[in-house]
Amino acid sequence: MAPVTAPAGPPATPGGPAAPAGAEMHALVERLYPLCRSITGDGVRATLDIVGEHLPLRVHEVPTGTPVLDWTVPQEWNIRDAYVADPAGRRVVDFAASSLHVLGYSVPVAATMPLSELREHLHTLPEHPKWVPYRTSYYKPDWGFCLAQETLDALPEGPYEVRIDSTLADGHLTYAEHVVPGQVEDEVLVSCHVCHPALANDNMAGVAVAVFLAKELAERRPYHTYRFVFAPGTIGAITWLARNAERIDRVKHGLVLACAGDRGPVTYKRSRRGDAGIDRAVRHVLAASGRPHRVVDFTPYGYDERQYCSPGFDLGVGSLTRTPYAGYPEYHTSADDPSFVSPEALADTLAVCREAFAVLDRDRRYVNLSPYGEPQLGRRGLYDAVGGRSDTKQAQMAMLWVLSLSDGEHGLLDVAERSGLPFGTVADAADALAAAGLIKAA
């Protein structure tokens, strides 16, 4: 399937004042941003501690060496300090200023070396000389520093003191779950990664949206059970899948949240199936809303949707971002700071999730109990029931469409897609028809 792009419309930047939740989510991003996170370690635990102030979490600690599918839980990495000091003793690269300055998973180092030797371990972005890149070496022992190109260009020759006070030892991989109980045990999985240091959009914005989405869902009893997974990227999702393989059939829908707060339009990436319930629900919501947006096909690269959609599991899990991974210059750099994240964009991403999950929760199949000819709606008060609405004609048409397609085979989302009517209008019509005894759940 080719990408679907919304027709030209309003600017991509969400307009209008931020909803209160947008400001609160942005404050959470700002609080989480400075923590030094990685795929294991105390930074992940500190992040989950803050999330735990908002949501009750079940935190899991999986020991180093545990087999998880084709992988093994790695050693735990923690870091206390790191710096490069120039010949005058000044810290020209300092972990205390930003956790991005250290190559993730760097092994301990205490040495003095000339600049020529040090350069082999320095990472910059020549095309953006003021920015510091984000780099890691999770599965290959190495060490290094990340710095601005303009800083590197100003370094004099001479001996440099290099210090990385880190540990790489047997420990645990940490992840957490939060469950919002529903009316049924069938689950909607919401997943976001908690492993990136000092990157606001990727992915503390996704974490913040997940937190506030869970809080909203807890205020009502949703139809589905919602399971939120806060885990390190790739290895965290693989670990969760390995530990939940026997109950994976409960997951009926899923969404990976990432890059949720930049000012670009919403992008939805379909599941590997391409026509899963979440694919249809998000596509309908985006099209009906008039938001500028893109719907793109699945690829086996990106975030953790590629783990959930792997052929052995084949879950109906899509990915919701604004600008996708690597799609903006600030991606994986120090420029992805809280100022890059917009409260309005966070609120808009939350709204898309809210609207899509409302579709999943209300989508039902019905059977028409008066299928021979059109039933008389007026004498049942159904026309009067919608007479005062501004969308009276639309609501009446929705009733006729629901009656026509209530054959036990079509759901309400089918009705909305075929009729071109908003899903909420269709669902309201079904409620009214069910209350009048004209349809029943299949």
Please tell me whether residues 114 and 251 are part of one structural domain.
no
Q: Looking at 151, 169, 187, which one is the last position of a domain? A: 169
| Residue 42 labeled ligand binder | no
CATH number for position 82 = 3.50.30.90
Please tell me whether residues 374 and 388 are part of one structural domain.
yes
Please tell me whether residues 243 and 157 are part of one structural domain.
no
Please tell me whether residues 176 and 289 are part of one structural domain.
yes
DSSP character string of 348-371? HHHHHHHHHHHHHHH--EEEESS-
> Total structural domains in the chain?
3
Are residues 271 and 298 in contact, defined by beta-carbon separation less than 8 angstroms?
yes
Q: What is the pLDDT of residue 434?
A: 97
Are residues 266 and 352 in contact, defined by beta-carbon separation less than 8 angstroms?
yes
| Residue 332 labeled ligand binder | yes
Please tell me whether residues 28 and 143 are part of one structural domain.
no
Measured distance CA(433)–CA(436) in Å, rounded? 5
Q: Looking at 169, 198, 224, which one is the last position of a domain? A: 169
Please tell me whether residues 324 and 215 are part of one structural domain.
yes
Give the dihedral of Cα atoms 380, 385, 390, 392; nearest 10 deg. Answer: -10
Q: What is the pLDDT of residue 307?
A: 98
Q: What is the pLDDT of residue 388?
A: 52
| b/e sequence 151-180, b meaning 16+ C-beta within 10 Å | bbeebeeeebebbbebebeebbbbbbbbbb
Enclosing H/E stretch for 266: strand 266-269
Please tell me whether residues 148 and 226 are part of one structural domain.
no
CATH number for position 375 = 1.10.10.10
Q: What is the pLDDT of residue 4?
A: 60
Paired tokens of 1 = 């399937």
Question: Mean pLDDT, consecutive 10-residue segments, the chain of 442 residues?
Answer: 49 50 97 98 98 98 98 98 98 98 98 98 98 97 98 97 98 98 98 98 98 96 97 98 97 98 98 98 96 97 97 98 96 98 97 98 97 92 62 88 97 97 96 97 95
Nearest alpha carbon to residue 108 among 169, 36, 171: 169
Please tell me whether residues 378 and 411 are part of one structural domain.
yes
Measured distance CA(239)–CA(234) in Å, rounded? 9
| Residue 60 labeled ligand binder | no
Q: What is the pLDDT of residue 384?
A: 60
CATH number for position 198 = 3.40.630.10
Q: Looking at 361, 378, 399, which one is the last position of a domain? A: 361
Please tell me whether residues 335 and 193 are part of one structural domain.
yes
The whole domain housing 436 covers 365-441
Measured distance CA(338)–CA(331) in Å, rounded? 13
Please tell me whether residues 229 and 333 are part of one structural domain.
yes
Please tell me whether residues 190 and 43 are part of one structural domain.
yes
